[in-house]
Structure 1
Amino acid sequence: MLTDPAVRAFVAAVNAGDREAFRGVLTEDATMSDDGSERDLAQWTDREIFDAGGHMDIESESEDGRALIVRFRNDTWGEMRTSWRFEVADNGRVSRFETGQV
């Protein structure tokens, strides 16, 4: 079980392939980056997660559950070891996440 409730809900939504639950975990103005480049969050998550069967297997967490090392896999790229960092707003929703290969 992941420590941070917002991060836990984020991972659960990704692994369930649940776009609606995923959107509910994010702030309306949430942002993201992939390998240091800013991305359009909706386009990236559709392409890399929801349309490609994305799945997160957690290896470890740190920073009170807001930093993860994950074996991420999808139908496009296969499996890769990635880091994920999350910022959580006062309302308990993810306002930003950053991911990239380790």
Structure 2
Amino acid sequence: MTIQTGKLTDPAVRAFVNAVNGGDEQALQTILTDDATMADDGSDRDLAQWIDREIFSSRGRMDVVNESNGGHDLVVNYRNDTYGEMRTRWHFDVTDDGHISRFETGQA
């Protein structure tokens, strides 16, 4: 059972998921702060390279299974053309003005 994207609690996280699922790199860049950072499985990664490789060039898709922490923590069935489907966890740091300054993901 998945949660419809439109029902996600936090607007910034909702916009992030919509951008990923829509293949909209410009929309994703708009929701991120200029100095946004990220980590994958506990290791910091180059944000631009990771987004291109793991999301856009491999057609990533997020199906949200669960949200917590005011919508800042998600459990997602994530799939892309490189790795297939896997259960992942996501944590988002959202600024007061509604942008994502950092996200962390990894296997759940």
Residues 1:50 and 2:59 aligned together: no
User: How far did 1:37 drift?
Assistant: 0.3
Residues 1:71 and 2:77 aligned together: yes
Alignment of 1:1-102 (within 5 A): 1-102=7-108
TM-score after normalising by structure 1: 0.99
In the aligned structure 1, how far is the partner of 2:8 from the partner of 2:35? 24
How large is the Cα RMSD of the aligned pairs? 0.4
In the aligned structure 1, how far is the partner of 2:49 from the partner of 2:95? 22
Uncovered stretches (5+) of structure 2, i.e. residues with no partner: 1-6
Uncovered stretches (5+) of structure 1, i.e. residues with no partner: none
Stretches of 4+ aligned residues off by more than 4 angstroms: none
**Secondary structure of 1:85's match?**
strand
Deviation track 1:47-91 (CA, whole Å, cap 9, x = no partner) reads 000000000000000000000000000000000000000000122
In the aligned structure 1, how far is the partner of 2:56 from the partner of 2:65? 21
**Secondary structure of 2:59's match?**
coil
The number of equivalent residue pairs is 102
In the aligned structure 2, how far is the partner of 1:91 from the partner of 1:4? 12
